[in-house]
């Protein structure tokens, strides 16, 4: 059975796994996401990803499957990228093919989550449904008639830019992505259980 490198580009961590095509994970790991304001951020990202690719070349991987925040065309071109703005205008499919000589595919991260739930998770057997992902930002993926629904602008299900303050309608700080993300959830859980959440991460929060 063919093996693939799975890569999830998050705003805090880039997570990866070596997996069979049926989804069975053989090994996984992570590295810190490149700072959104870093000089040469795209090159730094591909240098880090390149180390992971070389690590698994011995396993004869057949391709790279990427999930990434933002609106992403079917071609692999990133139209906007949420917490990772340096990917805007980058065709990640073409770059992976050119740099690593491997076929590649890419989809919005929340839409990947919806696909995963549809195939083998909570949406299996469900005709219509939605997945909401809580991370550095907030994401959504919609399933209609057992199919992933992207919408004409590749943003169906996106809930990250919902204004949360009617008096600060265009202020990014008051969008759902900033007020309902993992950091906000951790803070609320800390308050609920009476624990200082300053150094708490998502995994710690779920322990409570």
Distance CA 85, CA 34 (A): 11
Are 162 and 180 in contact by the 8 Å Cβ rule? The answer is no
C-alpha pair distances (Å), 4 with each of 25, 29, 65, 90: 10, 14, 7, 22
Q: Report if pTM > 0.85.
A: yes
User: Mean per-residue pLDDT for 86-106?
Assistant: 96
pLDDT at 82: 83
> Which DSSP category does 3 fall into?
E
Q: Which of 40 and 169 is assigned the larger pLDDT?
A: 40
Q: Widest CA span of the chain, in angstroms?
A: 56
pLDDT at 136: 84
Token output for 106: 């890419």
Residue 96 has pLDDT above 90, yes or no: yes
Residue 81 has pLDDT above 90, yes or no: no
Q: Hey, which residues does 14 pair with through a beta bridge?
A: 9, 31
Query: How many of the other CB atoms lie within 10 Å of CB of 79?
Result: 14
Q: What proportion of the chain, given as a percentage, has pLDDT over 70? A: 100
Distance CA 64, CA 87 (A): 17
Residue 93 has pLDDT above 90, yes or no: yes
């Amino acid at each position: 059975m063919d093996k693939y490198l799975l890569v999830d580009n998050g705003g805090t961590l880039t997570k990866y796994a070596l997996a069979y095509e049926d989804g069975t994970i053989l090994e996984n790991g992570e590295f810190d996401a490149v700072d959104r304001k870093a000089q040469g951020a795209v090159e730094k990202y591909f240098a880090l990803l390149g180390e992971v690719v070389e690590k698994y070349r011995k396993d004869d991987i057949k391709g790279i499957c990427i999930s990434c925040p933002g609106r992403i065309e079917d071609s692999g071109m990133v139209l906007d990228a949420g917490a990772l703005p340096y990917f805007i205008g980058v065709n990640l499919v073409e770059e992976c093919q050119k740099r690593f000589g491997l076929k590649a595919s890419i989809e919005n991260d929340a839409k990947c989550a919806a696909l995963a739930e549809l195939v083998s998770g909570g949406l299996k057997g469900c005709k219509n449904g939605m997945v909401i992902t809580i991370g550095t930002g907030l994401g959504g993926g919609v399933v209609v008639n057992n199919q992933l629904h992207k919408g004409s602008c590749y943003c169906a299900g996106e809930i990250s830019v919902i204004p949360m303050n009617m008096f600060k309608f265009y202020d990014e700080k008051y969008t759902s992505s900033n007020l309902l993300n993992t950091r906000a959830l951790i803070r609320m859980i800390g308050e609920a259980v009476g624990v200082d959440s300053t150094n708490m991460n998502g995994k710690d929060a779920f322990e409570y």
